[in-house]
Amino acid sequence: MRGAVSALAAVLGRLGLWGRGVVVAVPYLWLMLFFLVPFLIVFGISFSESVIAQPPYAPLVEWLTDEDAGTTKLQLLLNLTNYLRLTGDDLYILAYLNSVKIALVTTLLCLFIGYPMAYAIAKAPPARRGPLMMLVILPFWTSFLIRIYAWIGILKGNGVVSNLLEWAGITSGPVEILYSDWAVYIGMSYCYLPFMVLPLYSTLEKMDPTLLEAAADLGCRPFKAFLTVTLPLSIPGIVAGSLLVFIPSVGEFVTPELLGGPDTLMIGRVLWNEFFANRDWPVASAVAIALLLVLVVPIMIFQYVQAREAEER
């Protein structure tokens, strides 16, 4: 056994893959196997044709042997209909736009709620910051689904919010917030808020407080100092937090499915329908690939900002 290990080490060592190499290679192999390969499979399926078979799509590559003509062909059939359907059918375009809209609103809500939170925690006495951050992360200890179901109870007609509004005399009857875009916004910004608070807090916390003293000393009032010093210096945190909220929000499925109305059209739900209801794997794959393209742009912004921040250190 030992001999085998050292022999393997020798082979890998010759390939320059021992020690540090292995540490890096293992996670990469894992990602290759369980992320890149499945992605390529999905990419492939998105170019095939739907058939009633097992699996429910036509193979991309086929051997065609024509006995009469005496020819043998290796045929690669790229079916572009799936993508054309995405651009041609309003349903998909609307779903994409609506997903981006819901994700944007969620991101902005998280930013407006999360920034003051992160700011207050970063300005709290050091001994209190830990417990406060703990409270932000605490909801993660409960299942995501349970928390969404809890929101159903809160938002439904005759639910907590509705009863409260009625009791306060603001509304005369029960209010149904559930099954609307608003319910989705509330649920999603609730779920993703910690992803906004964490990077914002870490940026704000490491900001040198003497910079604000310097601004005040030079005649700058506190609010203006916030706008000219704190805000620009927290941009990396804003960008990181916004992308951490925006990216998963675009493809979100569970929250709109449970809290959204029948007309809350989101790409995650369309994908689900294509895959499970219509069993149209090729179109579902094309939807997934297009979603990825929508997300590549913000990811690139994220990378750019991070690289610039690293450079300035």
- Contact positions toward other proteins, by CB under 8 A? 208, 210-211, 213-222, 224, 228-229, 232-233, 312-313
Nearer to other proteins, 155 or 215 (CB): 215
Write the burial class of residue 220 (CB in 10 Å: 0-12 exposed, 13-18 middle, 19+ buried). Answer: middle
**β strands within 80-193, DSSP E:** none
Write the burial class of residue 279 (CB in 10 Å: 0-12 exposed, 13-18 middle, 19+ buried). Answer: middle
Handedness of CA 169, 173, 178, 179 (dihedral sign): negative
Nearer to other proteins, 67 or 312 (CB): 312
Helix axis angle for 126-137 and 90-123, nearest 10°, is: 150
Q: How far is the CB of 238 from other proteins (least distance, A)?
A: 13
Nearer to other proteins, 9 or 216 (CB): 216
Which single residue is written with the structure tokens 């997903």?
A: 99
Nearer to other proteins, 71 or 210 (CB): 210
Q: φ, ψ for residue 75 (rounded to 5)?
A: -105, 130
Q: How far is the CB of 227 from other proteins (least distance, A)?
A: 12
Q: How far is the CB of 122 from other proteins (least distance, A)?
A: 17
The token pair at 37 is 């390969």
Partners of 61 in the β-ladder: 76
62 half-sphere exposure, CB direction, 13 A CA radius: 10
Nearer to other proteins, 27 or 209 (CB): 209
DSSP one-letter string for 168-205:
TTS-SS----SSSHHHHHHHHHHHHHHHHHHHHHHHHH
Q: How far is the CB of 115 from other proteins (least distance, A)?
A: 18
Best CA proximity match to 228, nearest among 243, 242, 214 = 214
Nearer to other proteins, 150 or 216 (CB): 216
Q: How far is the CB of 120 from other proteins (least distance, A)?
A: 21
Nearer to other proteins, 26 or 214 (CB): 214
Nearer to other proteins, 135 or 211 (CB): 211
Q: How far is the CB of 226 from other proteins (least distance, A)?
A: 13
Buried/exposed code over 5-43 (b: 16+ C-beta within 10 A; e: otherwise): eeeeeeeeeeeeebeeeeeeeeeeeeeeeeeeeeeeebe
Q: How far is the CB of 219 from other proteins (least distance, A)?
A: 4
Q: How far is the CB of 215 from other proteins (least distance, A)?
A: 7
Could you give the CA distance from residue 256 to residue 260 in angstroms, rounded to a whole number? 4
